[in-house]
Structure 1
Amino acid sequence: MSNKLALDILERSGWTGAEAALGVAITELADISLWWAAPLALSLASAKSWVAGRLGRKGTASTLPESKDPATPPGVGGGATYAQ
């Protein structure tokens, strides 16, 4: 497994965990049913993707820098493909 793929996996799983934890925390603090945690996490994920698409690497929802993002074409910003 390439380092870029590992970073991509860590980024995605880290954001997913953070969004899920925030969804649960919000439902606990608001004293509402835990069933609302999933829609809240989905909303947080959508908001993160929207912000990352404007502030992060253009054309993706990644928060990884261009040189570390596996979606970066070879030869652009030091990017590489998954297959190595």
Structure 2
Amino acid sequence: MQRLLLDLAERSAWTGAQAALGLAVTELADIPVWWAAPVALLAASAKSWVAGRLGRRGTASTLPASADPASHPAVL
């Protein structure tokens, strides 16, 4: 349960940060707010690419391997 909550918190935090970045970019660039979604998508893709190379290989998680649910599959 602890790993699930950490995973949920990580995903929520990154989603919030990417959305905020998208809105900040549209505000600073003085472009229509609908551009916030593509900017956030680009930020999410870049984060996943970087995390896949610097974090736990094979995942887009930024959690350490000890807390990443993908590192410890559930035993049935």
TM-score (norm: length of structure 1): 0.86
1:2-32 C-alpha deviation (Å, 9 max, x unpaired): 0000000000010000000000000000000
Q: Unaligned regions of 5+ residues in structure 2, if any? A: none
TM-score (norm: length of structure 2): 0.95
Where in structure 2 are the equivalents of 1:1-84 lying within 5 Å?
2-72=1-71, 79=72, 81=74
Identity of aligned residues (%): 69
Counterpart Cα distance in 1 of 2:57 and 2:73? 16
Task: Give the drift of 1:80.
Answer: 5.3
The list of structure 1 runs, each at least 4 consecutive aligned residues, that deviate by more than 3 angstroms after superposition, is: none
Counterpart Cα distance in 2 of 1:51 and 1:38? 20
Counterpart Cα distance in 2 of 1:43 and 1:24? 13
Select the structure that is richer in helix. 2
Q: Unaligned regions of 5+ residues in structure 1, if any? A: 73-78
